């Protein structure tokens, strides 16, 4: 029988957060295990402070005052697509793409396969549960579980795609075929997007590729089951992605929000679309010409689970020094950020909690005067 952690540790004198985090992790069943146990109140380790809680929007409303751009990637003349990518990357840090070349049928199959993995019997999921990233394929709940102040209501399957994909036999059979096919498609799409990012900075199409920005790719398949108290927790806390850029496939349930100015924009799913966002490293490489912005996911209030699949693109060269590209630095536009290695960069990310963790601020040069 699975041990479920105490759901109402309301007495501060008896609440031992570390103990309850350990108990939750030791079940190796994630939040899906809590939902399957029939809980009606979420454990205290998932309670976020009021200032971090997210008001669930009216899911039936179509009256968003703002939205991120939608770009027809292959159906638009290249110069026009290039300008739209440049403008969206500067103003929003996010955009959606349609007509991107990836078969829509694959997108549907991939979402279904990742959902199927998370909905396998408990004893099957538990076989893949691990907090260590060395295997190249592991299942866990909350990458920052032991360093965050509050856990978030989601589980994750993580798979290394590059520089070389993990041994395919290590990928769960229930989603293996779809992941292998997705990896081939997303590598090609990633190269196309990186070329547009590069040209949008006035550089050669291969400039960012030469910095190995396509080589290190990690896929995460997030699963957000129904949350009985969505007003007390979040799906993913507000954060900015640390890498170069991210390609995100989300299902039609919704939940992603992007910070724009002082407002949060609901990124409503578009059938067949992919969401693209600028990471901290690309903001630094561009010397601030592109913008990495905070985004978050609210806890799922619906009985239907939400599934999203993200691929993070990072440089493969861990010891190479990165910073603002020399071509983008001048006396009129001095470097805004210091240089660093990717090892130093990612170590900073993984030793801090996810909430509010933009690496741009860590590496920003202080202005004089």
Residue 360 lies in a domain: no
38-68 pLDDT tens trace: 999 999 999 999 988 888 887 666 555 578 9
Residue 227 lies in a domain: yes
Range of the domain at 282: 17-38+69-350
Residue 10 lies in a domain: no
Beta strands in the chain (DSSP E): 70-72, 94-98, 137-140, 155-160, 216-224, 234-239, 245-250, 256-260, 263-266, 274-278, 295-298, 306-314, 321-322, 340-341
- Residues 358 and 242: their CA atoms lie apart, in Å, by 7
Q: What is the pLDDT of residue 84?
A: 98
Q: What is the pTM of this model?
A: 0.92
Q: What is the pLDDT of residue 365?
A: 84
Q: Above 50 in pLDDT, residue 5?
A: no
**Could you tell me the CATH number of the domain that includes residue 208?**
2.60.120.330
Q: Above 60 in pLDDT, residue 11?
A: no
Q: Which residue has the higher pLDDT, 152 or 344?
A: 152
Q: What is the pLDDT of residue 345?
A: 80
Residue 224 lies in a domain: yes
Residue 176 lies in a domain: yes
Residue 261 lies in a domain: yes
Q: Which residue has the higher pLDDT, 366 or 144?
A: 144
Residue 48 lies in a domain: no
- Residues 210 and 233: their CA atoms lie apart, in Å, by 41
- What confidence tier does 367 reach under pLDDT thresholds 50, 70, 90? low
Contacting residues for 366 by C-beta, under 8 A, at least 6 apart: none
Mean pLDDT of 335-346: 88
**Total number of domains constituting the chain:** 1
3-state secondary structure of 269: coil
Contacting residues for 135 by C-beta, under 8 A, at least 6 apart: 166, 170
Residue 11 lies in a domain: no
């Amino acid at each position: 029988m699975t041990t479920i952690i105490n759901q109402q540790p309301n007495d501060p004198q008896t609440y031992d957060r570390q103990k309850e985090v350990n108990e939750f992790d030791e079940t190796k069943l994630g939040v899906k295990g809590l939902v399957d146990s029939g809980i009606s109140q979420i454990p205290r380790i998932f309670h976020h402070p009021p200032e971090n809680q997210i008001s669930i929007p009216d899911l039936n409303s179509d009256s968003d005052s703002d939205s991120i751009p939608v770009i027809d990637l292959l159906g638009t003349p290249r110069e026009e697509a290039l300008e739209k990518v440049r403008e969206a990357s500067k103003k929003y840090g996010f955009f959606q793409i349609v007509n991107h070349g990836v078969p829509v049928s694959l997108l549907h199959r991939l979402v279904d396969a990742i959902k199927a993995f998370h909905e396998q019997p408990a004893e099957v999921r538990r076989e893949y549960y691990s907090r260590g990233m060395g295997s190249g394929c592991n299942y866990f709940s909350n990458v920052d579980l032991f360093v965050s102040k509050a856990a978030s209501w989601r589980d994750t399957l993580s798979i290394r795609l590059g520089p070389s994909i993990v041994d395919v036999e290590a990928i769960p059979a229930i989603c293996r075929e779809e992941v292998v096919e997705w990896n081939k498609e997303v590598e090609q799409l990633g190269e196309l997007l990186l070329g547009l990012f590069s040209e949008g900075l006035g550089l050669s199409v291969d400039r960012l590729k030469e910095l190995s920005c396509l080589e290190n790719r990690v896929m995460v398949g997030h699963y957000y089951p129904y949350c009985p108290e969505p007003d007390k927790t979040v799906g993913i806390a507000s954060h900015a992605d640390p890498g170069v850029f991210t390609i995100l496939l989300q299902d039609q349930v919704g939940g992603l929000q992007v910070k724009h100015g002082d407002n949060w924009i609901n990124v409503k799913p578009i059938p067949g679309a992919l969401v693209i966002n600028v990471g901290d490293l690309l903001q630094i490489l561009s010397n601030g010409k592109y913008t990495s912005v905070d985004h978050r996911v609210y806890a799922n209030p619906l009985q239907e689970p939400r599934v999203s699949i993200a691929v993070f693109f990072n440089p493969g060269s861990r010891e190479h020094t990165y910073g603002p590209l020399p071509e983008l630095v001048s006396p009129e536009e001095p470097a805004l950020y210091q240089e660093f290695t990717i090892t130093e960069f990612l170590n900073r990310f993984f030793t801090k909690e996810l909430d509010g963790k933009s690496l741009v601020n860590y590496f920003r040069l202080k202005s004089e005067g």
